[in-house]
Amino acid sequence: MKIENIGAVRVPNTRVQRQTPSFKRNWAEHASWGANYVKKTGKTNFKLFSFPDAKAVFVEVANKAAGALSDVRERVVGVLGLTAAAAAAGIRKELTPADENSKIYPMEQKGEGVYVADNIDAKPNDKYRYIVVTKNNDINLVKDPYSKKQENIHGWSSVYDTDNYEWKNTDWLEGKDSRRIVRKPNEPLRGLERLVIDEVNIPTLTKEGTFEAAKSRIDTIAKKGTATAIELMPIENTFSKQWGYDGVDKFAVNENLGSAEQLKELIDYAHGKGLNVIIDMVPNHIGPDGDYLGETGPYIKGSGEFGNLLNYEGDNNKYVRDWMTNAALWWANEFKVDGIRFDLTSSCDSDYLLRQFAVELNEHAPNVFLIAEDHRNKRPEITSYYAPPTFSHDENLEFIDRSVKSNNIGQETVPKRLGFDSEWDSQYKESVERAVLEPSVFALDDIDKYLPTSHYRIKYGYSHDEIGNEDGTRFIPKYMARHFNLFISVDGDSDASKGQKAAHAAQNLAELVVSAGFENMTNDEIAKAEKSFGVNRFIPKQELINVFETAVAKQKLMLGTVMTTPGPKMYFQGDDEGDLSYFKFFRELSVDNAKRAANPQEKQKILNQKGYDTLESVARPDCIIDSVPMGGLYKNMKQEMVKFNSDLMKLLNSSEVLAKGEIVATYKDNQHLVHSHHLKLGNEELLVIKNYGYGFHNGTYEYYGFPQGGKWKEVFNSDAKEYGGSGYSNAGREDINNMNQHLSLAPNSFIILQKV
């Protein structure tokens, strides 16, 4: 709504103050933003960054507010003191008179667009919103960018109660639990080299998809012993249950998953089970649904592929950087997380924002470690493992502010060191995936290049991106689609359509192989099933079995390559169990149903692109862990995979060299597509030999690069029968040396030898 004549406004103390304000980045300053209830006084203080040239800003408080922001009629006329003529000319909808359900309070402009209103009669869970009168006389009704409780992404914010949970695992919080991992390791706390991350998505961990239900999965993860940490995909507030990368309320919990109190309880519960908790934040954009930042203040610099981009280095940028930095501090301190992973940091277009994250968190949450997803592989300084800061906290912030101010707007700026503790290693990931899926001399070259350089980075084979951004299928179906060349065995009117159909046909084939009745199916029944999957050629039963088992072996080889590389590591939920459930991209925006009703082609466009409907209610059920039951020939597969990974973790826990040893040598056997790396730490030495090729070596494998001197024994073999393998083994031998190797090495397997 708009007021044509704002000259009649008579609100004291709302004009821009001419003096330069003095704001500091101390803890009191960080904690002062948004709505802060003061228990001692029973009142609430409000603080907002809005347009520096706004005519006036108000906070409206209501006890019984309901509905969306645009659905509630306003009472602005009386407060602004407008004349009847001005009101009639500028306001095009009826305004209700003042009543007992809400009150409007003027906010005082403190300079630089900072507005405050103190000692306001507002209690926890009371509703509030801001009324911004712009220099153009528009009246914007907006939720709080600092909202810490936001039940409706289009509605009023709620006053948050920081006393909503009493933490139980205080030894963990006080640094007395040796299972806790921190950026600055000290006794008894451990460093990032002990990170083995299970990346999880709350909506698909359980059928219910809630924080409360997720505790059962925490029990499972802890019992398996296959991880030291969980990483929660974003739980920033959005419209529906989804992946979480469309968050619009950067401080508020997604109420579809549960309350802030329930999230705290889940984190506390995980700590009690010995699991560190990492939270995933999205600083590179704001989601497309429920974004009112552009009406609130100069938070936005333009639009991007996934939503609006944020104004970290444009006009009036300082408090926008502070806003996102404060979000990281909020998750670290209010929710007691152990680490924060920052999504696609390179797309923030501001390395000074990233530097500010590290400076502020190191000052105010020094135990919390920081992980970037950056993918600028020429920028190794992103992964600067922890080092004491050269300058003081204030000097660092002054440097950041001064540097941003002096740079040309829109150009990427580059501080010398960002101060993150680690980053996702995409080059390592790509080299491992290529070696496992398409073994070749070139793939071996990449393994040899990137494995030794990944020490401080997060190593992984697959994350949510590799699964869900393509076709929603996991590694095993992906390998089957590639091996059977299903792209040319399915029909489709485009390459994209054929690719999706091939992927989903492979998923159906994998589910068929592990089904309870597959073992007794006839060839005719199998052919009929394959035809129903869209496969236009017959694949015999034994060939299906052979390729499926090869895919399982390759998944173990991928996981083993990651786990035997020193430093932090990660896998995606269920991969340690060989889970076959989809992880499709799913989300739902508040306008989806209306758009689909108005234009049926909206749904068809998504089907053409993904091969499935992305609505949460349709896609999410297929993605829930264990939604594909294992039976028949593979009824024990889950237990075998868990045994494989838990035994590997036991070796990692008992062996310092696997966690933080040095890779002193590597060797490429291009003829057999075998790669080995030699680890050493003090007197402890391990040799990891990985067969990416298809050759069977029954007591016959030898290579020139075997370490000179000493004897070796086998301490792990991924092909052991207890892990579902064929049983090739070097167990019991104490005579392995460079002159007497004669190793047994199955295809798509790895062995670990320990120097005696």
On whether the CB atoms of residues 401 and 320 are closer than 8 A, the answer is no
pLDDT at 83: 41
pLDDT above 70 (res 80): no
DSSP string, 192-251: GGG-EEEEE-HHHHSSS-SHHHHHHHHHHHHHHT--SEEEEPP-EE-SSSS-STT--EEE
Which of 22-36, 92-106, 175-189 has the least mean pLDDT? 92-106
What is the spatial distance between Cα 732 and Cα 755, in angstroms, rounded to a whole number?
A: 14
What is the CB-side half-sphere exposure of residue 503 using CA atoms within 13 A? Answer: 24
pLDDT at 100: 52
Q: Nearest Cα to 482, choosing from 451, 512, 463, 510?
A: 510
- For residue 407, name the pLDDT band (cuts at 50, 70, 90): low
pLDDT at 384: 72
Which of 74-88, 379-393, 476-490, 726-740 has the least mean pLDDT? 74-88
Asked if the domains 170-424 and 655-755 are classified in one and the same CATH topology, the answer is: no
pLDDT at 206: 97
What is the spatial distance between Cα 679 and Cα 686, in angstroms, rounded to a whole number?
A: 5
Average pLDDT score over residue span 266-280: 98
pLDDT above 70 (res 4): no
Give just the sign of the alpha carbon dihedral 471, 473, 474, 479: negative
Homologous superfamily (CATH) of 170-424 is Glycosidases (3.20.20.80)
Q: How many other C-beta atoms are found inside a 10 Å radius of the C-beta of residue 305?
A: 7
What is the spatial distance between Cα 481 and Cα 465, in angstroms, rounded to a whole number?
A: 18
pLDDT above 50 (res 177): yes
pLDDT at 600: 85
pLDDT above 60 (res 82): no
Q: How many other C-beta atoms are found inside a 10 Å radius of the C-beta of residue 685?
A: 19
pLDDT at 97: 38
CATH topology of domain 6-158: Immunoglobulin-like (2.60.40)
Summarize pLDDT for 284-339 with one digit per residue, the tens.
999 999 999 999 999 999 998 889 999 999 999 999 999 999 999 999 999 999 99
H or E stretch covering 432: helix 426-437
For residue 387, what are the CA distances in angstroms to 358, 373, 416, 491, 496?
Answer: 11, 20, 14, 56, 47
Average pLDDT score over residue span 642-667: 95
What is the spatial distance between Cα 57 and Cα 77, in angstroms, rounded to a whole number?
A: 14
- For residue 2, name the pLDDT band (cuts at 50, 70, 90): very low
Q: In sequence order, which residues have a C-beta less than 8 Å from that of residue 293 and are 6 or more positions away? A: 145, 286, 299, 300, 308, 310
On whether the CB atoms of residues 609 and 569 are closer than 8 A, the answer is no
Mark 220-240 as b/e (b = at least 16 C-beta within 10 Å): ebbebbbbbbbbbbbbbbbbb
Q: Are strands 249-253 and 276-281 parallel, antiparallel or unpaired?
A: unpaired
In the chain, domain spans: 6-158, 170-424, 655-755
Average pLDDT score over residue span 2-6: 35
On whether the CB atoms of residues 130 and 296 are closer than 8 A, the answer is yes
Which of 188-192, 449-453, 752-756 has the least mean pLDDT? 188-192
pLDDT above 60 (res 1): no
CA angle 652, 692, 661 (to 5 degrees): 30
State the residue for tokens 């944020």.
310
pLDDT above 50 (res 95): no
pLDDT at 430: 96
Q: Are strands 369-372 and 422-423 parallel, antiparallel or unpaired?
A: parallel
Q: Helices (DSSP H) in 574-626: which residue ranges?
A: 592-598, 601-610, 616-619
Q: Nearest Cα to 225, choosing from 561, 642, 568?
A: 642
On whether the CB atoms of residues 601 and 494 are closer than 8 A, the answer is no
**Quick one: tokens of 175?**
């640094």
pLDDT at 597: 86
**Quick one: tokens of 537?**
């050629």
Summarize pLDDT for 456-474 with one digit per residue, the tens.
999 999 999 999 988 999 9
pLDDT above 80 (res 72): no
Q: How many other C-beta atoms are found inside a 10 Å radius of the C-beta of residue 738?
A: 16
pLDDT at 389: 72
- For residue 484, name the pLDDT band (cuts at 50, 70, 90): very high
What is the spatial distance between Cα 285 and Cα 305, in angstroms, rounded to a whole number?
A: 9
0.85 surpassed by pTM: yes
Average pLDDT over the chain, rounded to an integer: 89
Give the end-to-end CA distance of the chain in Å, rounded to a whole number: 79
Average pLDDT score over residue span 179-206: 93
3-state SS assignment for residue 34? strand
**Quick one: tokens of 109?**
């402009």
- For residue 520, name the pLDDT band (cuts at 50, 70, 90): very high
pLDDT at 94: 30
Instruction: Determine the CATH number of domain 655-755.
Output: 2.60.40.1180
Average pLDDT score over residue span 215-242: 97
Q: Nearest Cα to 87, choosing from 167, 149, 9?
A: 9
Q: Are strands 276-281 and 339-342 parallel, antiparallel or unpaired?
A: parallel
DSSP string, 330-370: HHHHHS--SEEEETTGGGGS-HHHHHHHHHHHHHH-TT-EE
What is the spatial distance between Cα 208 and Cα 257, in angstroms, rounded to a whole number?
A: 9
